[in-house]
C-alpha cells in the first residue's frame, strides 16, 4: 500500500463533524494518482513508489517515454511516497481518495505562499520599538542585532528581515473530517499551507498508519 497521494488545495470552509460540532476545514482534491515506478531495496537502495498526478498534453519526450513504460497516461506531476505494510502496489495501478478514511490523521506537505521581502515584525512577530517619548522612525525596527567588541559581528541565524514564504512546509496530524470518493474530495480539519490551487501531498503519518 502506498503511503500518500497528490492533490490540489481548493478552499477553506466549515463542516459539521460526527459530534455535531462546527469545525474549520480545508477542502482538497486528491487523486486519482497512478503508480509510475516502484523502487526496491535491492536495485535502488530503498523502497518507495513513484506516483503521477494530473493528466496533461504537454510533456518532454523523456518523461513521456518513462510514463509509457508504466502504461499510464501523460501526467504532469511525479513524486515519491513510502510503501506501507499491506498490499504491494503494482505498476500502473490507479489509487484514489478511498486510500484515506474519516477519523484518521494525515500529514499535508505543500509550498507556502510567497510573501516577498518582509521585515522582522511580519516575518517573526517582533513587537517593534516604543511608540512614545519622541521615538518616530523605529517602530518596526529589529533593535540590536549583536554586541560590539565581542564578538564584533552578527551571529549566524540572527532573526532579521529577508525573504518570507515560498518554502516546503509540512503540517502534521490533521484529522480527516470527510471524504467524497465520487468527486475525489477530502476535507481535513484546520489549515493547509499554500495558495488555493497549489499542489499538495497528503500522506499517512510514519509509524502510525494514520491512526491516533
Q: How many Å apart are CA 197 and CA 45, to the nearest integer? A: 34
Can you give the pLDDT at residue 207? 61
Average pLDDT over residues 8-19: 86
Q: What is the pTM of this model?
A: 0.80
User: Domains of the chain (ranges plus CATH)?
Assistant: 4-114+169-203 (2.40.30.10), 115-164 (no CATH)
- HEC states along 44-98? HCCCEEEEEEEECCCCCHHHHHHHHHHCCCCEEEEEEECECCCCCCCCCCEECHH
The answer to whether the CB of 49 falls within 8 A of the CB of 6 is: no
- Report whether pLDDT(212) > 60: no
Can you give the pLDDT at residue 210? 42
Q: Radius of gyration (Cα) for the chain, nearest Å?
A: 22
pLDDT band at residue 9 under the 50/70/90 scheme: very high
Alpha-carbon dihedral sign for residues 172, 174, 176, 180: negative
Average pLDDT over residues 22-29: 91
The answer to whether the CB of 195 falls within 8 A of the CB of 11 is: no
Amino acid at each position: 500500500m502506498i503511503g500518500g497521494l497528490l492533490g490540489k488545495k481548493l478552499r477553506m470552509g466549515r463542516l459539521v463533524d460526527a459530534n455535531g460540532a462546527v469545525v474549520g476545514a480545508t477542502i482538497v482534491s486528491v487523486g486519482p494518482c497512478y503508480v509510475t515506478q516502484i523502487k526496491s531495496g535491492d536495485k535502488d537502495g530503498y523502497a518507495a513508489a513513484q506516483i503521477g498526478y494530473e493528466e496533461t498534453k504537454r510533456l518532454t519526450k523523456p518523461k513521456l517515454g518513462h510514463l509509457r513504460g508504466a502504461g499510464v497516461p501523460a501526467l504532469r506531476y511525479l513524486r515519491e511516497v513510502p510503501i506501507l505494510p499491506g498490499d504491494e502496489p503494482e505498476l500502473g495501478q490507479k489509487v484514489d481518495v478511498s486510500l484515506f478514511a474519516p477519523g484518521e490523521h494525515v500529514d499535508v506537505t505543500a509550498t507556502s505562499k510567497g510573501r516577498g521581502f518582509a521585515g522582522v515584525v511580519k516575518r517573526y512577530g517582533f513587537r517593534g520599538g516604543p511608540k512614545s517619548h519622541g521615538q518616530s522612525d523605529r517602530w518596526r525596527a529589529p533593535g540590536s542585532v549583536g554586541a560590539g567588541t565581542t564578538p564584533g559581528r552578527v551571529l549566524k541565524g540572527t532573526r532579521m528581515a529577508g525573504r518570507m514564504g515560498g518554502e516546503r512546509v509540512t503540517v502534521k496530524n490533521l484529522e480527516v473530517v470527510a471524504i467524497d470518493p465520487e468527486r475525489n474530495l477530502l476535507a481535513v480539519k484546520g489549515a493547509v499551507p499554500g495558495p488555493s490551487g497549489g499542489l499538495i501531498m497528503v500522506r499517512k503519518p510514519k509509524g502510525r498508519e494514520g491512526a491516533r
